[in-house]
Amino acid sequence: MIQIIGAGPAGSLLGILLARRGVEVHLYERRSDPHGVAAEAGRSINLALAARGMRALESAGVLPRIEPLCVRMRGRQLHETGRQDQFIAYGQREHEVIWSVSRSALTAELAAAAAELPSLRLHYGQMCTGYDGDALRMRDVAERRDYQLPAERVIGADGAGSVLRHCLAQHDGFEVTEARLPHDYKELQVPLQAGHAALSMEALHIWPRGGYMLIALPNADGTFTATLFLAREADAGSGQPGFDALQNVQQVERFFRNEFPDFLALVPDLPQQFLGNPQGMLGTVYCPRWNDAERLLLIGDAAHAIVPFHGQGMNCAFEDCRLLDAMLQEDPGHAFGRFANERREDCLAIAQMALENYGEMRDTVRDPRFQQQKALSLALERLYPDRFIPRYSMVMFHDEIPYSVALRRGRIQQQILDELGAAGATPESAEPLVRSRLERLSVPAG
């Protein structure tokens, strides 16, 4: 029997993977129902789903139920001040796209799929409050009743603020680093304009402004969910704005009129939304241990929450589920320890790449040199498809390439791009450089 704490994306998907193989699964969720789960999370109303997430959903047999909820995004649409909007494709093959999916619809669909499996039991309104190696301390939220469960094999999928992570750290006396970013986020809804989508539905929209940015992802109904990423505190010295200086209607209106006038025009009640919506925080969790022998294992955000700038937190959590399920099938008695050892390097790599991507999205994407290098890297991929794959593509489209390999090869590729750029060389002349520095990858054809 396996007890999973948290029926978010990771807990639900893992429950499905296990229960489909006949494993007895008990899934405990503090919210009262799947819609409550989505609403309470209060974070990111839509998420970008990419190859790693899709593959895990496929291996759990639920992809056909999720696909109809997804909106295809082929690239970034840049909205720069004083410039024509510009579309930059993410990849160069038909399937090299990412998908915008409503967090609540996805979670509800996974919960529905889980509820259909005879060996899985979902317990809503049950919050875990502690773990001591032998027992789980639980609370029935509606009845305000505390009780204990014997801890069998426990999976902590209880998100970035994980109670189980705190218990494990306390029990074993290690320190967890929760590295909070100095930037927070706030979401805004863009309604339909005269019955139509306000922006192109095929893109992830970015308004890069150097120190901060606004993005918007399409929803299936033609509305968009936008997110402002901005420093918590304004910096008077550099003139950089911050959330603390946006406290009333006039300040909010002035900021958007100056920085995002085209966006302001799309959202009639923008100041009201802005002042009414919560301000979310962002950060990376570095947890040195994820398991208590074979009794407890942390997965997903509970083990390794990351900043959202590569759109990989949930994808990585889903990949956790697929890999852990395979390890449990191979050698159930050692799977927790093996997962905790083998997965760490990849999770550190995506945490690093997610942090680096913030600079790219809010700033370097505007630089003509970035766009030249992007074009050059796509040309190199066309010429040497089994050696040179742009780092973004390795992370988003190549689930067969581990994150740590993408990070390592990405660094080598960046050096190659810099050297070629400095020498004014053509992609064709890069062959010796590419062959000598990048070993061959085994990539699927097409």
- Minimum CB distance to ligand FAD, residue 389 (Å): 20
Of 313 and 427, the one with the shorter C-beta distance to ligand FAD is 313
In angstroms, the CA 354 to CA 349 distance is 9
Characterize 94-105 residue by residue with b for buried, 16 or more Cβ atoms within 10 angstroms of its Cβ, and e for exposed: eebbbbbbbbbb
Which residue number has the CB closest to ligand FAD? 8
Chain positions 45 to 104 lying near ligand FAD, rule: CB under 6 A, are 47-48
- Minimum CB distance to ligand FAD, residue 273 (Å): 16
Distances (CA, A) of 327 to 88, 256, 426: 39, 50, 45
Asked whether 240 and 394 are in contact (CB, 8 A), the reply is no
Helices 51-59 and 9-20 meet at what angle, rounded to 10? Answer: 30
Binding mask 4-43 for ligand FAD (x = CB under 6 A): -xxxxxxx----------------xxxx-----x--xx-x
Which of 15, 311, 410, 427 forms a contact with ligand FAD (CB under 6 A)?
A: 311
Chain positions 216 to 245 lying near ligand FAD, rule: CB under 6 A, are 227
Beta bridge partners of 77: 87, 205
Binding mask 109-148 for ligand FAD (x = CB under 6 A): ------------------xx--------------------
Name the segment binding ligand FAD (CB under 6 A); options: 55-63, 242-250, 255-263, 314-322: 314-322
Beta bridge partners of 281: 184
Of 119 and 279, the one with the shorter C-beta distance to ligand FAD is 279
- Minimum CB distance to ligand FAD, residue 49 (Å): 7
Chain positions 251 to 310 lying near ligand FAD, rule: CB under 6 A, are 280, 300-302, 308
Q: How far apart are the first and last CA of the chain?
A: 42
Token digits for 99?
């998908």
Neighbours of 421 (CB within 10 A): 13
Residue 317 is a binding residue for ligand FAD (CB under 6 A): yes
In angstroms, the CA 289 to CA 303 distance is 8
Residue 159 is a binding residue for ligand FAD (CB under 6 A): yes
Distances (CA, A) of 352 to 43, 373, 403: 21, 21, 10
Contacting positions for ligand FAD (CB under 6 A): 5-11, 28-31, 37, 40-41, 43-44, 47-48, 127-128, 157-160, 163, 185, 227, 280, 300-302, 308, 311-315, 317
